[in-house]
Structure 1
């Protein structure tokens, strides 16, 4: 999970709605359903997230999928934050099209639509994508799984596992994609070593933004390249640190 830096306030219409926020779950659901400026808000979210899903770092557009506007703190728990831009993020999977498509494939739903996230969330345990240090909680394995990072204190390890389970980040859809991505990185890494080519240039291909977009699984790639990745990001895109 990559930390998201919020930019702006979501635009005039969202800000206006937030000035008189809903106070009940029912009002939040009704008003959000009728809010007619979601495409504008979505574009702002995707821009600040470099087109990555806020939880899985999937590039939904590259997989023939879409996104939905996610309330990091659920509307049912915090209705007054329904139009709070600092509570919004772009998460993979659109309700009307992608959920039926995944079901047809026999794949598990993940991210903001995961069954756990749709229920009550313990925000004291949940690791939010808006938390500046959220990336330190997770590690990525060559078999495609995401796990709590090594060396975490017990409380933080439990928070990481709670978040992984809640968002179903090891879903049957995501794990094979991560495993394939890791394998491709390994092949390219070995080729560059054999041919004495620059690993810094290789890392930059998958870590540096192009046209305000990043390649999928940024955190996995950053972990894979280790200190090389940190050097590249620090020198070429310090805004990603």
Structure 2
């Protein structure tokens, strides 16, 4: 750490300050020009004492006037999107990405726990266009989700969404998610297969594979993508308690 980090709890950063801010768990961490910050289990920004989390997972620093985020871990991938979820990158170990938006959302999972933090830039290189209103069935690119498919995602992401402002949540097993919906595990897995196939065709990485831990990995990856891309939000959670007839 360069000594350029200031922590400000409970306030919004000054938009006139030419700096980058990282928000996690309601705290704002400010980086000034030329500064740097490590993020992880034992880092400048301590995320959690989760043993599945790297001591240093991410590094944020200014290089030749451009803010850059690097994945300095060896195992975990990180989902990075613009604030509106219109653009997404999957930042694997050893990869780095310039931070050019006013708001960037970062989501990653270590073991059963998912974390979210946001990066705010006072002077972004690119301005984001105003989002267009969306009505009706959820559409992402050329993929349309049925109500029951959206329920699958919500059941898996519920704990993460309920912890809004805290930034962490455990991904349930398929059996727990099926029970939350009142479905059989067979029906849940069939719907999950359909959802993962749809997003895989869209180009979302990590939803297909032959690893022994594939069943767990795809649930984690689906939640990461859905939250980062704003496919599901906390406002959607009441759908989980609607009658089956209302969500068929």
Q: Same fold (TM over 0.5)?
A: no
Structure scoring higher RCO (CA < 8 A, sep ≥ 6) equals: 1
* Higher percent of residues as helix: 1
* Higher percent of residues as strand: 2
TM-score w.r.t. the length of structure 2 is: 0.28
